[in-house]
Structure 1
Amino acid sequence: GKVCVIGGGVVGFNAAQMAAGLGADVTILDRNPEVLERLGYYFESRAKTRFANAANVAECVAAADLVIGAVLIPGAAAPKLVTREMLSTMRPGAVLVDVAIDQGGCFETSHATTHAEPTYVVDGIVHYCVANMPGAVARTSTYALNNVTLPHMLRMADKGWKDALRSDAHLAAGLNVWNGRVTYKAVADDLGYDYCPMEEALA
């Protein structure tokens, strides 16, 4: 089977790893040359990497039995990289999995589905667009989430939230709203809210 993974971040990497482990013919597309280089070193001959431009996306999607959309722009809606016109180039019964559905989806024909009714068909192509996919393994995903968030919660409890955020840039990047104002510029711009710089919130 041919698997096309659009996006080489955490989700895309893990999807490609699973597909390659099952013996699929995997192609990963990304716009960041450093990401492509890192993925190339890791997968070697087990997966191909290509730069994610319109022509390469269209070619990869047309050949794929499974397309996994793993594109994320932090704080903003996902770009629509697979158009409805591209569906006509795919094999009937091919599958699109839109992991970016929580950010609006990266396929033009995507709309959110549920675990109760996870799929629908458009132009002969099966779409799987379940919002909050980790909810399928709720207990496991809860343990995983707790393991990575608990140290941060303890740090905030010990230092207070402002000092904890001042001492950890990664934790500070997680602040989205302060005192009723949006502190994440992409979210504020996308939704039309007033933007409050992080420095002001932590002052």
Structure 2
Amino acid sequence: MIIGVPKEIKNNENRVGVTPAGVIELIRNGHSVYVQATAGEGSGFSDEKYTKAGATILPTIEEVYATAEMIIKVKEPIASEYNLIKEDQLLFTYFHFASYEPLTHAMIERKAVCLAYETVERPDRSLPLLVPMSEVAGRMSIQEGAKYLEKPLKGRGILLGGVPGVRPAKVLVLGGGVVGTNAAKMAAGLGADVTILDTNLARLRYLDDIMPANVNTMMSNEYTIRELIPSHDLIIGAVLIPGAKAPNLITRDMLKDMKPGTVLVDVAVDQGGCIETCKPTTHEDPTFIIDDVVHYCVANMPGAVPYTSTQALTNATLPYAIQLANKGWKQACADSNELKLGLNVVNGKVVYKGVAEAFNLEYTPVDSIL
């Protein structure tokens, strides 16, 4: 198969879809890899490294899309890429369709085969291609939250871990999945007073067993959230419903109950966000303030640490990419239920129920196209 790796052009996105190590493995399996010039530079991988790995460097994004049968990316295509996508072309990347209707309609119109990292799902309901970036984003949410709690950045002026004789910051984590667990670990490690909420009692029991003594667990519901937000300094939104829009757990009216300078970090923003007042921001302009509450809503948080993120992502995606390239997408998805669940839009049809429901579109069962 002919595989293309374009340069990411989303604002301040420095990751790349495949590392040179990944290129070597794809070529060993008999495939050709075409990488756009400078695609890996932001992650620390020069064109020379890709050439040594066996890839062919193409000068423009147009040539990469025109040449490739399968495109491996990191982030969803943006508007300037839509017309480059060909009918039947396989796109293997994060899409987060349910949070952005224009992208969904564009991919339907282009009749591409869109296999989304975020909905590839194992039998145990885990999301193997979302996990590495969720780990990065969860840990980063505390780094960024701690920074924006500083007074010059309009935060409360509180040190996350406190010092002897002064209490630490109170951190509230909404969601006990991969993002929430990593956020809680980082916050606890810095000495914060952490509370993590989830609706799954079994998960809360597990977290209660593994977390240090400065992490408390509570059942998540609106009453509990309203009770806790006035006393917390940093609130992390870490809720995920695979392939669907995240629910609003923090509503607009709750902001008035928060202390001035409270910081909200919505890691779920690329799935629509779990904080009603959040809207996607960029690393260039990451925050905004509503009712004296600082909102950090960067939609590609791991893009700020691309060297770590790109390697972590390729570690997870490469085995699936090899399956798709070796067998072709249709056979690979027929053979692997994990990959089949990754299909969202295929040849103009929406085949993932969460996406169809988000925009009231016609749903086509995926088995009918395999």
Global fold match (TM > 0.5):
yes
My pick for the range that moved more, 58-67 or 165-174, is: 165-174
Task: Name the CA distance, whole Å, in 1 between partners of 2:194 and 2:216.
Answer: 6
For 1:144 and 1:199, how far apart are their aligned partners in 2?
A: 31
**Is 2:327 the counterpart of 1:159?**
yes
1:92 is aligned to 260
Which residue is equivalent to 1:45? 213
1:147 aligns with 2:329: no
Distance in 1 separating the partners of 2:357 and 2:256:
35
**Letter paired with 1:139:** Y
Superposition map of 1:1-203 within 5 A: 1-43=169-211, 45-202=213-370
| TM-score of the superposed pair, with normalisation by structure 2 | 0.53
**What SS does the aligned partner of 2:197 have?**
strand
Partner of 2:114: none
Q: Which moved more, 1:152-161 or 1:7-16?
A: 152-161
Deviation at 1:44, TM superposition (A): 5.0
Specify the code of the residue in structure 2 equivalent to 1:155: Q
Cα distance in 1 for residues equivalent to 2:307 and 2:336: 29
Which of structures 1 and 2 has the larger relative contact order (alpha carbons within 8 angstroms, sep 6+)?
Answer: 2
Whether the 8 Å contact between 2:188 and 2:212 is mirrored in structure 1 is no
What is the CA RMSD across the aligned residues, in angstroms? 1.4
Question: Which amino acid is the alignment partner of residue 111 of structure 1?
Answer: K
Task: Assess, with a 3 A threshold, how the Cα gap between structure 1 residues 20 and 44 changes in structure 2: closer, same or farther.
Answer: closer
Higher-Rg member (1/2): 2
Q: Identity across aligned pairs (percent)?
A: 56
Deviations 1:164-185 (A, max 9, x none): 2233222221111122111110
Counterpart-to-counterpart distance in 2, 1:133 and 1:44 = 26
Q: Does the aligned pair in 2 maintain the 1:98–1:105 contact within 8 Å?
A: yes
**Alignment partners' CA distance in 1, 2:274 and 2:315:** 29
Note if contact 1:27-1:60 (Cα within 8 Å) is conserved in structure 2: no
SS in structure 2 of the partner of residue 107 of structure 1: coil
The whole-number CA distance in structure 1 between the counterparts of 2:336 and 2:225 is 37
Deviation at 1:75, TM superposition (A): 1.8
Unaligned runs of 5+ in 1: none
CA positional deviation for 1:134: 0.9
How many residues are aligned here?
Answer: 202
Whether the 8 Å CA contact 1:87–1:125 is kept in 2: the answer is yes
- Aligned-pair distance for 1:22? 0.6
Taking structure 1 as the reference length, what is the TM-score of the superposition? 0.94
The CA deviation string for residues 48-82 of structure 1, in whole angstroms up to 9 with x for no partner, is 11111111111222211100001111222111111
CA distance in 2, matches of 1:3, 1:201: 46
Q: Which runs of 4+ in 1 moved over 4 A?
A: none
Q: Distance in 2 between matches of 1:10 and 1:26?
A: 16
What does the per-residue CA deviation read over 1:75-106, in whole Å, with 9 as the maximum and x for residues that have no partner?
A: 22111111222222222111000111111211
Amino acid at match of 1:40: D
SS at match of 2:264: strand
Tell me how far apart the structure 1 counterparts of residues 337 and 228 of structure 2 sit (CA, whole Å): 37
- Cα distance change of structure 1 residues 76 and 41 upon mapping to structure 2, 3 Å threshold: same
Q: Please give the secondary structure, in 1, of the residue aligned with 2:261.
A: coil
Q: Point out where structure 2 has 5 or more consecutive residues left out of the alignment.
A: 1-168
Distance 1:114 1:95 in 2: 16
Distance 2:369 2:181 in 1: 34
